[in-house]
Amino acid sequence: MLAIGSLAYATGPDFEKYMPELFKYLEMGLQNFEEYQVCSVTVGVVGDICRALEAKILPYCDGIMTQLLKDLSSNQLHRSVKPPIFSCLGDIALAIGPDFEKYLMYATPMLQSAAELSSHTEGADDEMIEYTNALRSGILEAYSGILQGFKSSTKTQLLIPYAPHVLQYLDSIYKGKDM
């Protein structure tokens, strides 16, 4: 799978011709909760493919986003996969720009819930603090991709309702002790 991500990145938009067949395997990887490392690698490959194909990934986004959001909602998936999923959401948003609008109402509550979870670290052990910091990083990468994806469009006003939460989250990180 890692080689696929590298190949996609190296060949750029020409990689699009392989997507109809590859998409089946990406879906299987994203659904593989039992072998969470496979799911994690697949999430990384999806991010690589988004960066390589940019807007040409759009025909596959409904399936990818559906599975990523299911993964985030799952209690069965190992928690270590969730920070890279948030980062991948940012890759998708950056790749498809304002077309990410249709996913905002689903992705932002997930980001907000994870942000809330990551702001409570009092009394956590080192492992939990490390996970929380990875989660924070993934959330920030998601917000960054979303903001950059919308920046040159006429749809930036769609982000205004989310601005207070993003700013509050940044403030809570700034004030946090466990960074």
- In 3D, which of 29, 22, 24, 30 has the Cα closest to residue 4? 22
Alpha carbon distance 116, 111 (integer Å): 9
Q: How confident is the model over 90-123, as pLDDT tens digits?
A: 999 999 999 999 999 999 999 999 999 888 777 7
Q: 0.75 cut: is pTM over it?
A: yes
Under the banding of pLDDT at 50, 70 and 90, the label for residue 3 is low
Alpha carbon distance 118, 166 (integer Å): 13
Cβ neighbour number for residue 152 with a 10 Å cutoff: 9
Q: How confident is the model over 152-163, as pLDDT tens digits?
A: 899 999 999 999
Q: How confident is the model over 48-91, as pLDDT tens digits?
A: 999 999 999 999 999 999 999 999 999 999 999 999 999 999 99
Handedness of CA 41, 43, 47, 52 (dihedral sign): positive
Kindly tell me if the per-residue pLDDT of 8 is higher than 80.
no
CB-CB contact of 111 with 143 (8 Å)? yes
